[in-house]
């Protein structure tokens, strides 16, 4: 078994096709397919179910991918740790973040990191917290910035640091009836059209848990997948959304009101128990920037 063969299998699993995997690995498809077939013959099992429309992992394939990621990570770690002893940080850093993170600014943080550590290949993924955590479990991310319900329990395999615990505020159009009040109540919001992220998402749960604690139904009329669409719907007066107070300061053409017994979110940075040199360097840089911001 060759490391390249492991890399090819992981690429096919991630991309869902041999063609896309070949592009990702910068190899012709026929060569990649041959290497995967050769590996399957060596193992005596099929790693993929193939048909004309899709490629899916078999049970053996799922087991191979899970352990294959660990194997490639371990090989890369050997080189990265050796070089780090000489004071040089290199390798790969894959960072995930929610779209509503304002402090630290993930783009600014990555730019600072790239200036300090130019030999590290940097990648960025922006998704919801639950998807970022799944990527962490699959070892596809090195570090993730997530926003969760304050009562959320972190996976035992991760280390984490809380960056803030903040209230959510009600976001609405400047002409909304509730905009004439200084504060709004959960009861008022429960009888108002609401906009939020999908049911089951961490963002949704932050609000739904508090409404449930007060015996109120959290009925979302407008379900969106991006903060931009949430803001647009609120700006047009179609619904009210609940967003982090820190984010509200950056928005125009809308107004916000404090909510009595407001939902809260905990912003955390999450990383593996045994972080790579690049991850350790990013976390150190992050804490320096946070300290400088006061």
Structure-model confidence comparison of residues 98 and 51, the more confident one: 98
Confidence of residue 279 (pLDDT cuts 50, 70, 90): very high
Structural domain that includes position 43: 3-67
Whether the predicted pLDDT of 9 surpasses 90: yes
pLDDT (mean) for 229-256 = 93
Task: Clarify whether residues 58 and 155 are in a common domain.
Answer: no
pLDDT (mean) for 33-44 = 94
Q: What is the mean pLDDT of the chain?
A: 91
Rounded to 5°, the CA angle 187-189-191 comes to 75
Task: Clarify whether residues 48 and 165 are in a common domain.
Answer: no
Structural domain ending residue among the three candidates 33, 67, 101: 67
Residue 246 burial class via C-beta count within 10 angstroms: exposed 0-12, middle 13-18, buried 19 and up: middle
DSSP helix/strand/coil, 204: helix
Write down the pLDDT at residue 294: 64
pTM over cut 0.75: no
Confidence of residue 85 (pLDDT cuts 50, 70, 90): low
Structural domain ending residue among the three candidates 35, 67, 99: 67
Task: Clarify whether residues 241 and 191 are in a common domain.
Answer: yes
For 166, phi and psi rounded to 5 degrees? -125, 155
What is the rounded CA–CA span in Å between residue 127 and residue 164? 19
DSSP state of 267: E
């Amino acid at each position: 078994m060759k490391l390249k063969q492991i890399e090819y299998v992981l690429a096919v699993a991630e991309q869902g096709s041999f063609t896309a995997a070949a592009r990702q690995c910068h190899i012709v498809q026929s060569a990649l397919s041959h290497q995967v077939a050769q590996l399957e013959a060596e193992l005596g099992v099929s790693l993929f179910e193939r048909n004309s429309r899709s490629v899916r992992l078999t049970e053996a394939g799922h087991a191979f991918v899970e352990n294959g990621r660990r194997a490639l990570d371990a090989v890369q770690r050997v080189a990265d740790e050796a070089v780090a002893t000489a004071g040089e940080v290199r390798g790969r850093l894959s960072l995930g973040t929610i779209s509503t993170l304002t402090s630290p600014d993930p783009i600014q943080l990555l730019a600072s990191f790239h200036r300090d550590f130019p030999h590290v290949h940097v990648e960025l993924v922006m998704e919801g917290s639950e998807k970022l955590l799944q990527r962490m479990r699959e070892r596809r991310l090195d570090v993730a910035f997530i926003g969760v319900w304050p009562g959320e329990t972190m996976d035992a395999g991760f280390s984490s640091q809380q960056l803030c615990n903040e209230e959510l505020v009600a976001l609405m159009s400047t002409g909304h009836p509730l905009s004439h009040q200084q504060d709004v109540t959960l009861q008022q919001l429960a009888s108002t059209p609401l906009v939020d992220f999908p049911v089951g998402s961490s963002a949704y749960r932050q609000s739904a848990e508090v409404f449930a604690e007060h015996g109120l139904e959290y009925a979302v009329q407008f379900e969106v997948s991006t903060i931009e669409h949430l803001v647009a719907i609120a700006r047009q007066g179609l619904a009210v959304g609940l967003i982090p107070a820190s984010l509200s300061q950056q928005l125009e053409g809308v107004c916000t009101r404090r909510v009595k017994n407001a939902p809260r979110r905990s912003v955390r940075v999450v990383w593996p128990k045994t972080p790579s040199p690049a991850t350790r360097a990013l976390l150190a840089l992050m804490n320096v920037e946070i300290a400088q911001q006061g």
